[in-house]
């Protein structure tokens, strides 16, 4: 494993995106446990991209403009849906008691969020193969190992974001004016991410 792979992975993961935003929102809204659940869900959402890359499906989708556009606009639609639900019932920022099913709901939302992220597909098609030589005897296992490192970094970084947000939760809840603006801020961020994704080209 090269230092270049680790550094680039860290930059890709640490750059705030929809998954990080979702995890931070869970931490602010429902505390540390919810943020860790969200981080796990976002990490699980990487698995389909890994499987697609291992089977060659990701390369096929990347080569197909129609498939890429379909995945991209599905992601845009879901980000807009998250913005709407955040404004409607505060989504991940709700401060009510957490019902038993909320952890599973958080995981489902996080998995779907990363599943519909074409940037991850591009990562596994364009970036990861640069560190795996197809003619090496254990190329598949090498790719799986690098993918596992990427998932571990994602889990650690997102958990860090979420735990920090959860630590700030008490201060946020003590400020009604900030609390009132948080859902709008997160909804606006989701809309901005959707717009950026909509104009993303391969």
Rounded to whole angstroms, how far apart are CA atoms 158 and 125?
23
Number of Cβ atoms within 10 Å of the Cβ of 67: 16
Provide the angle, in degrees to the nearest 10, between the axes of the packed helices 139-167 and 47-55.
160
DSSP state of 152: H
Number of Cβ atoms within 10 Å of the Cβ of 180: 9
Write out the chain's pLDDT in tens, 202 residues: 678 788 878 877 887 778 888 898 888 888 889 999 999 999 999 998 888 777 765 555 555 666 667 767 776 776 787 677 767 765 445 544 444 447 888 898 889 888 887 778 777 776 776 777 767 778 778 888 888 999 999 999 999 999 998 888 877 766 767 656 666 776 777 788 778 767 766 5
So where are the chain's domains? 17-198
Rounded to whole angstroms, how far apart are CA atoms 124 and 49?
7
Rounded to whole angstroms, how far apart are CA atoms 136 and 24?
40
Query: pLDDT tens-digit profile of 111-161?
Result: 988 888 777 877 777 677 677 776 777 877 888 888 899 999 999 999 999
Q: What is the pTM of this model?
A: 0.73
Give the per-residue pLDDT at 95: 45
Q: Output the CA torsion sign for 182, 184, 188, 194.
A: positive
């Amino acid at each position: 494993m090269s230092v270049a792979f680790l550094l680039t992975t860290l930059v890709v993961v640490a750059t705030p995106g929809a998954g990080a935003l979702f995890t931070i929102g869970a931490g602010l809204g429902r505390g540390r446990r919810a943020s860790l659940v969200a981080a796990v869900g976002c990490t699980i959402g990487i698995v389909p991209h890994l499987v697609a890359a291992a089977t060659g499906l990701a390369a096929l989708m990347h080569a197909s403009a129609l498939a890429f556009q379909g995945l991209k606009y599905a992601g845009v639609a879901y980000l807009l849906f998250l913005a709407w639900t955040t404004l409607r019932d505060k989504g991940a920022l709700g401060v009510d008691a957490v019902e038993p099913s909320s952890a599973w709901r958080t995981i489902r939302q996080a998995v779907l969020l990363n599943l519909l992220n074409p940037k991850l597909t591009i990562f596994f098609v364009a970036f990861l193969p640069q560190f795996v030589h197809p003619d090496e005897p254990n190329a598949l296992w090498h790719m799986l190992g690098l993918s596992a490192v990427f998932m571990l970094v994602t889990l650690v970084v997102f958990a860090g974001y979420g735990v920090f947000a959860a630590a700030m939760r008490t201060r946020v809840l003590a400020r009604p004016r900030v609390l009132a603006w948080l859902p709008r801020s997160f909804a606006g961020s989701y809309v901005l991410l959707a717009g950026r994704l909509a104009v993303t080209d391969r």
